[in-house]
Amino acid sequence: MTTVIPETSRTALIDEILELKAERGAAILAHNYQIPDIQDLADVVADSLKLARQATEVDAERIVLCGVYFMAETAVIANPDKQVLIPDPKAGCSLAETIQARDVRRWREKHPDGMVVAYVNTSAEVKAEVDYCCTSGNAVAVIEAIPRDVPLMFLPDFFLGNYLREVTGREMDIWLGECHVHAGLSPDVVETKRKEMPDAELLVHPECGCVTSILYYLNHEGKIDNHTRIVSTEQMMLRARVSEAKRFVVATETGVLHRLRKENPDKEFFAAAESAECRYMKMITLEKLRDSLRYLRYEVTVPPDIAVRARRAIDRMLAIG
C-alpha cells in the first residue's frame, strides 16, 4: 500500500532530506524497485550488482541504502570504512529468508570438492559460507567461470537456477527457494498480457515464475520470438533504450516502471501484473529516509569474522561481468 503525502509537505520533506544529506555527507543509493520519490532523490538508482559496485566507488562518508537489508549488508561488507544506514531495518527479503548458513554447510559435507554460488539475495551469514556471489546481472558469467567438472550448488532462487542450468548447459544442484513477488509472475499471467499486446517486447526478470516455460518454448518450440529478453533490472534499462519496440511488457516488481518511463519518454511500459509489488522495498518511505539522515539510524553492521569470509565471495562477484 502506498501512502499519499500532500504536495506541500512532500516538497518540504524532500527539501529537508536534501539539506540533511548535505549536512551528513551522505550518498543515497536506491534500488530500481524503490518508490519514485526516493528514486528521484537518490545519487544512484540501480540493480543490486551496480549498487554493490557503487557502494565501493561513491565518494561520501556514509551511505543510506534505500533497498532491502541484504543490499545494505553487502554495502557494509564491500566498504568496511563507511557507515551504512538503512531507513527501515525490517525491510527484508522473502527469498533470502529461504536459506540459512547451516543449509550450505550440510551440502558441503556431502560435496567436499564442490563449489557454491549464492545469489546476492542472501544474508551475510550465508555469503560467508559460499565461494561466489552473483546477481541476475552476472550470474551466467559467474557460473561459466567455474570449471565444469566441479560439483556445483546454486542458491537460493529456483527459477534463476533453472534458467542458469538451461543457458549454460551446466548440471547443478538448485535450492528450491523463490521470491513471492516474482513467482507470482507465472506463465498464465504473462501469457495473458502478451496476448493483449502482441506487438510489445517482453522484458522478464529471471526470478519470475514464467521463466522456465519461456525458455522451454524458446528452445523447443520456437513459439516465443525475438521480442523476449530475460534480463536483470539494470539490463532492462539498457534494453529499453536500444530496442526498436515502442511498447514493453515488464515482468518484475513494478518499481522499475518509473525509471523506464523517465528515461524513455517516447516509449510505453506496462506491468505484466500491477500486483507485483515487493512490500519490503516499499517499506522505505520519505519520512523514514529523513529520519535515517536526521538520527543517523539504522546503522547496519556485520560481525568482522562473517564480513571477512563473505567479502571473498562478493569480491569474486565484483570481479566478474
- The residue with its CB nearest to ligand 13P is 47
117-151 residues labelled b (16+ CB within 10 A) or e (exposed): bbbbbbbbbbbbbbbbbbbbbbbbebbeebeeeee
User: Which one, of 274, 246, 272, lies nearest residue 261 by Cα?
Assistant: 246
Among 179, 200, 293, 306, binds ligand SF4 (CB under 6 A): 179
What span, in angstroms and rounded, lies between the C-alpha atoms of 59 and 300?
A: 19
Comparing CB distances to ligand 13P, the nearer of 114 and 184 is: 184
Told to check if 94 binds ligand SF4 by CB under 6 A, we report: yes
C-alpha cell of residue 65: 541504502
What span, in angstroms and rounded, lies between the C-alpha atoms of 313 and 194?
A: 38
Told to check if 88 binds ligand 13P by CB under 6 A, we report: no
Binding segment (CB under 6 A) for ligand 13P, from list 101-109, 134-142, 143-151, 168-176: 134-142
Comparing CB distances to ligand SF4, the nearer of 55 and 281 is: 281
Binding segment (CB under 6 A) for ligand SF4, from list 7-15, 89-97, 108-116, 146-154: 89-97
| Residue 135 interacting partner from ligand SF4, ligand 13P, none (CB closer than 5 to 8 Å by kind) | ligand 13P
Cis peptide before 156 (omega within 30 of 0): yes
Among 68, 152, 306, 317, binds ligand SF4 (CB under 6 A): 68
Among 87, 280, 290, 310, binds ligand SF4 (CB under 6 A): 280
Give the x-and-dash track for 156-185 against ligand 13P (CB under 6 A): -----------------------x------
Shortest spacing between CB 51 and ligand 13P, in angstroms? 7
Q: Can you give the three-state secondary structure of 142-210, one letter per residue? A: HHHCCCCCCCEEEECEHHHHHHHHHHHCCCCEECCECCHHHHCCCHHHHHHHHHHCCCCEEEECCCCCC
Question: What is the DSSP-derived secondary structure letter of residue 34?
Answer: S
Told to check if 123 binds ligand 13P by CB under 6 A, we report: no
Q: Is 233 helix (H, G, I), strand (E, B) or coil?
A: helix
Comparing CB distances to ligand 13P, the nearer of 48 and 83 is: 48
